[in-house]
Amino acid sequence: MSADGIAGRQETAAPAIELKGISKAFGPVQANKDISIRVMPGTIHGIIGENGAGKSTLMSILYGFYKADKGEIFISGRKTDIPDSQAAISAGIGMVFQHFKLVENFTVLENIILGAEDGGLLRPSLAKARRSLVELAEEYGLNVNPDALIEEIGVGMQQRVEILKALYRRADILILDEPTGVLTPAEADQLFRILGRLREEGKTIILITHKLREIMEATDTVSVMRRGEMTATVKTSETSPAELAELMVGRKVLLRVDKKPATPGDVVLDIKGLRVVDDQKVERLKGIDLQVRAGEILGIAGVAGNGQSELLEVLGGYADGTGEVMLNGHPLALSGTGADGRSRRTQGIGHVPEDRQREGLIMDFAAWENTAFGYHRSDAYKSGLLLNNAAIRSDTEGKMARFDVRPPDPSLAAKSFSGGNQQKIVLAREIERNPDLLLVGQPTRGVDIGAIEFIHQQIVALRDQGKAILLVSVELEEILALADRVAVMFDGHIMGERLSSETDEKELGLLMAGVGS
Amino acid sequence: MDFLTLIQLLDSTVRLATPLLLACLAGLFSERAGIFDIGLEGKMLAAAFFSAAIAALTGSVWLGLLAGIAASMSLSLLHGLASITFRGNQLISGVAINFLAAGLTVLIAQDWFQQGGRTPSLMGGGRFEPITLPFAEALAQVPLLGPIYSELISGHSILVYIAFATVPLTWWVLYRTRFGLRLRAVGENPAAVDTAGVSVVALRYAAVLICGVLCGIAGAYLSTALQAGFVKDMSAGRGFIALAALIFAKWRPWYALYATLLFGLFGALETRPDVIEAVIGIRVQGQLLGALPYIMTVIILAGFVGKAIPPRAGGTPYVKER
């Protein structure tokens, strides 16, 4: 059959999945805003977007984990209610989660029948599953040992089990959420071969990822999500990584930061060959070389998940790494003794973490307690063996005034402040310690415009005092406005460095997509 | 030590192991489903009281047993409500149930019977009487096997036989049925069960209710078979020893049988210091034997003898995540 013929058939057939006007809010956060999408049967449809763009929420709605506030779901042209996972399964939807939902000390076979048993006794169910596993293995090339324990097989194999689970339940629509996050490149290639095979057999596949390369390689059509909205749906063959990167990161109100040209001094931070391997034994940093000088802001750009978080974590002292990192000419411990937040702070590194609610603050604690964290051993905060609460409070009051935290009440719990004011508390704590090097991650994520400006001013002011600043942000606009120099990270590597005055979004976008250098 | 003493010792081992075994299997169902239950003690105590009270009032031990099971199941439901529906802390809920049972049983006993927090002594149909198995008399004279059959195996109350039959039954349910597969799964990874379209909440409630039934039988055994009536705090820490046995048994049914028999033997020896002295020549303090189950559990937990890995999702309420 000719390509035209296939395309013609797809036009007339009902979409395998059609979402109309799906909206979902979690409290004040609008995770999905009026999302509509059509996925044709027998295609691989990519959904791309940064972390927190709302991809997973959308798929959780499709799989019955959440109920949409508004909107309708059509499966093969029929309006379908999906109140729970059971309904999704009977509608022919299978989901492979980013974090596998397998019982570790069960066998492959037991995991496959769980929830889809035939009758009250296990023996017939297991026998049936064993037979059908042989068929599925032949049909799709999905070979697994049915009697292996999950905890004894690798992640690539575990993912196969997840796919088999869905196929065993007769899924026609398969959703894969960030499937390659834990896979080696070879395993990922194998996965895409399997997906191609499934498409040939007429299955519809939705591939959620933030990796542009996978979208370009594997999908027929792609939808881009940004901040809860579906910004575009295009044919993969008619787009480019650079265009997708731009759609993902987006353009917002032009940010303007008043700053004088930088006057870089001595090298404060010198990183050579830095590597980080995560808990799943995946290498996240693959030999990073960077330098940050006194009096300059180095911005790290990149699509989220390309190693920026790991870079901050290892420099902040709470992930282990290998390589050589010098601060003012002295080596930093990258694992074992001395590789912890306390040592880093005494050595002169301040850290404004990416996720202020989880790493920067204790949300149930008061502002004054949060102000003391990390520095609670300092003499100013102590009286004898005890904390000098009065001193901490009055110090916090000063900080809140200087950083314009509203309301300026030190005894209020951190969770009672708005995102911008929470960030100001963290920033005040770290900046007022006068660090030689300040690590800043996503300083304005979820922060309102007014606070963004103020936070940017504070960071520039610190630079002008001759301090070194390493800024990680997924907002290109922010990087270009704030940084003096930009390094682009892709897949654990530095793709290239540019002076921010001599580059633009287009060039950086290409680097972010892993193209050229 | 002569043969008859040994038989007697084992006989009392069986009797003392029975409530431990039932409570241990009760805890096994609950914990295998991911709900820690330190309220076994309280449930047994409540069941002991209500069994004895209703048996005393109606003269029927069977009605007493049902009342005991009902009381224990109500506390199970309370535990389920706190830890499954409201996702509270399972340990705190368990502790609360223990206190509740300790206080309420005595209070109600005093209100109903005015005998200083006890129930009247049970007689006749108010107790589970020993059952003499067929041919026990006839075979008693057969050397060796005769006494084992007639003294050790025969002559226990029906609840003892139920307890021992529960072991293979539990094993079969856990490893051979759909319910068992799901139960074990929900204690290891509730998200896997949830995404497979099975209700985590329903499974966990089923588990705590089964736990309630078994604790109810254990409690009824204490007051209507082992003793003849309820006295204050008569569970005497058996719920905790059962928990220790559960860890010792690594959450497995057959091991639970061996562990509770071993702990039952310690209990039997506690009352027969003369036997120990005769065998090993040293006088051992009874309290030391009483403490042995706990000491052994600590050793097991410290990882000296194999590793005891509890169900992975144990103790944590299930919250759907993205």
Type of residue found at A415: K
Taking the CA of residue B191 and the nearest CA in chain A, the distance in Å comes to 6
A195 domain-assigned = no
Q: Are A32 and A132 members of one domain?
A: no
Owning domain of residue A234: 1-92+173-185+203-249
How much is the average pLDDT of A263-274?
Answer: 94
pLDDT at position A51:
65
Q: Are A342 and A443 members of one domain?
A: yes
Taking the CA of residue B207 and the nearest CA in chain A, the distance in Å comes to 16
pLDDT per position as a tens digit, A47-105: 988 766 788 889 989 998 888 999 999 999 999 999 989 999 999 999 998 889 999 99
What ipTM does this complex have? 0.90
More confident residue, A154 or A274: A274
In chain A, which residues have their Cβ closer than 8 Å to the Cβ of B191? 101
Q: Are A34 and A87 members of one domain?
A: yes
In chain B, which residues have their Cβ closer than 8 Å to the Cβ of A97? 195
More confident residue, B192 or A241: B192
pLDDT per position as a tens digit, A463-484: 999 999 999 988 788 898 899 9
CATH number at residue A445: 3.40.50.300
A133 domain-assigned = yes
Burial of A287 (0-12, 13-18, 19+ CB in 10 A): middle
Q: Are A85 and A1 members of one domain?
A: yes
Domain end point (choices A398, A418, A433): A433
Question: How many CB pairs (< 8 A) connect A and B?
Answer: 73
More confident residue, A5 or A395: A395
Q: Are A86 and A179 members of one domain?
A: yes
Q: Are A305 and A341 members of one domain?
A: yes
Domain range annotation of chain B: 3-126+145-301
In chain A, which residues have their Cβ closer than 8 Å to the Cβ of B197? 84-86, 88-89, 115
Q: Are A381 and A482 members of one domain?
A: no
Q: Are A178 and A86 members of one domain?
A: yes
In chain B, which residues have their Cβ closer than 8 Å to the Cβ of A85? 194-197
Q: Are A515 and A445 members of one domain?
A: yes
Per the structure, the count of domains in chain A is 4
Q: Are A321 and A289 members of one domain?
A: yes
Half-sphere exposure of A188 (CA within 13 A, CB side): 17
Residue A330: both structure tokens together: 């002295």
Interface of A with B (CB under 8 A): 56-57, 60, 63, 65, 84-86, 88-89, 95, 97, 101-106, 110-111, 113-117, 119-123, 125, 165
pLDDT at position A242:
79
> The tokens 């588990």 sit on which residue?
B207
Q: Are A243 and A369 members of one domain?
A: no
How much is the average pLDDT of A123-137?
Answer: 93
A370 domain-assigned = yes
Taking the CA of residue A466 and the nearest CA in chain B, the distance in Å comes to 43
Contact between B176 and A122 using a beta-carbon 8 Å cutoff: yes
Q: Are A4 and A86 members of one domain?
A: yes
Q: SS3 sequence, chain B?
A: CCHHHHHHHHHHHHHHHHHHHHHHHHHHHHHHCCCCCCCHHHHHHHHHHHHHHHHHHHCCHHHHHHHHHHHHHHHHHHHHHHHHHCCCCHHHHHHHHHHHHHHHHHHHHHHHHCCCCCCCCCCHHHCCCCECCCCHHHHCCCCCHHHHHHHHHCCECHHHHHHHHHHHHHHHHHHHEHHHHHHHHHHHCHHHHHHCCCCHHHHHHHHHHHHHHHHHHHHHHHHHHHCCCCCCCCCCCHHHHHHHHHHHCCCCHHHHHHHHHHHHHHHHHHCCHHHHHHHHCCCCCHHHHHHHHHHHHHHHHCCCCCCCCCCCCCCCCCCCCC
Domain end point (choices A433, A462, A492): A433
What are the per-10-residue average pLDDT scores of chain B (322 residues)?
86 95 97 96 97 95 97 97 95 96 96 93 90 85 84 91 97 97 96 93 97 98 95 93 91 95 89 81 81 80 73 89 52
> Which of B141, B186, B142 is closest to B312 using CA atoms?
B186
Please give the residue of chain B at the shortest CA–CA distance from A112: B196
Evaluate if residue A6 carries a pLDDT over 50: no
Domain end point (choices A379, A404, A433): A433
A498 domain-assigned = yes
The CATH class given to the B3-126+145-301 domain equals mainly alpha
